[in-house]
Structure 1
Amino acid sequence: MHVSASERGLVRLFAVDLPSDEVEAFREAVTDEDGEIIDWPLGKALGTTDLDEDFVELFNVNDLEGLGLPGYMVQGLGISEHDVMEDVRRLSAQRGWILVVLSSAFGRSEQTLAPHRPLRWLGTYKEEGARVRYEPLPDAGAKGAPLAPPTPEPQRNPYKTVLLAILALPAAALVLGLLFLWGTTP
């Protein structure tokens, strides 16, 4: 079972064929003083050493009262109802412990899984993307209404422009006169 480094949105589902009294030992990772995992039966059963337990779920199907495994997959994991319905009989028949492994559990590292007992692969499903919903416009007047014409830029006051020109002309004449005098004097 290949996991690519770019994998996103996949959910791997496994049955865990263990009695309930052995599940806790299967679930718990043994760490050293530095917090490094030295033994993790769940990781070994998946055939991987690089696994983020924050994206792994292990639960008993009996805990899904009223919802069932197919309902949990659709409502809890975001898998398309169509995809789940293809396997609904097989999924509904599952009893005991279930392991859910999300793509994020692999930390974007490419690896090959080699799951073995007590795990039994049930399927790999794709999370459904967020559906786009188009809400009606809140105001009936906004439907089909033409766009308002753009607001015109404010008009410049022509009197200010003339006033600036009148004041600038004597100043320019003064500067030119000084340059002329400076250039003609020895």
Structure 2
Amino acid sequence: MTTMQINGSESGTVRLFHLDLPAEAIERFTTQAGTGEWPLQYALGAHRLRPAFIDVVSIRDLDSMSLSAYLAEAHQVKGSEFRGMRGQIDALRGHVVILPSQAFDHTSQTLTISQPLRWVGSFEEETARPRDASLSSRSAQGTATGQGGGGLGATRSPVLKLVLIGAAILILLVIALALRQGG
């Protein structure tokens, strides 16, 4: 029996488990029943588990893609430990359960992994790289002094200025008339 601690604030970790069951028993084991029974959760010893983040993979269904390539592509797994275990990962047969950090619902818990699960390894996910934050559109160029190409402060049309001045005068006249009639 393997024991591992899950930190509720953890992110970026993917855990790989081999599932030693016949193909016809996989769905019953990995699917939560309407009664709440969930053999996968029991075998993990998990208090909280989110079904939406559980990836159960039949290695045979990957066809020519290796399991390590699937982990790298679908779960962005990387790192030296992962590279060192690729041969062992690709030698697995049958079914595996892949659990990213989100599967534990940000809940600190101690897992006690039991049969038919066998922990293969925990690997780090590739983190998203920030994009270049520079702005490249013409309207984004310029300075705070109004040298840019757009926005309310860049109104240069004389007709628009006259319309705005006329609207302001009209509003002031309406207010003056309303005050005169009211007083």
TM-score bracket for the superposition, by shorter chain length: 0.5 to 0.7
Q: How many residue pairs were aligned?
A: 142
In 2: Cα distance, 1:116 partner to 1:74 partner: 26
| Residue number in structure 2 paired with 1:57 | 55
Alpha-carbon deviation of 1:47?
0.6
- Asked if structure 2 preserves the Cα contact closer than 8 Å seen for 1:10 and 1:102, the reply is yes
Would you say 1:108 and 2:106 are equivalent positions?
yes
- Asked if structure 1 preserves the Cα contact closer than 8 Å seen for 2:31 and 2:38, the reply is yes
In 2: Cα distance, 1:23 partner to 1:30 partner: 13
- Asked if structure 2 preserves the Cα contact closer than 8 Å seen for 1:59 and 1:99, the reply is yes
The Cα offsets for residues 60-119 of structure 1, whole Å up to 9 and x where unpaired, read as 111112221110111111011644221011011000000001111111111000010000
Give the structure with higher Rg (CA). Answer: 1
Name which of 31, 44, 55 aligns with 1:28: 31
Segments ≥4 residues shifted beyond 4 Å: none
| TM-score (normalizing by structure 1) | 0.67
Once the two structures are superposed, the pairs formed by residues 56-75 of structure 1 within 5 Å of their partners are 56-75=54-73
Name which of 16, 40, 47 aligns with 1:13: 16
CA-based RMSD of the aligned residues comes to 2.8
| TM-score (normalizing by structure 2) | 0.68
In 1: Cα distance, 2:43 partner to 2:146 partner: 69
**Structure 1, unaligned runs of 5 or more:** 139-146, 153-186
**What amino acid is the match of 2:16?**
L
Name which of 87, 90, 93 aligns with 2:91: 93
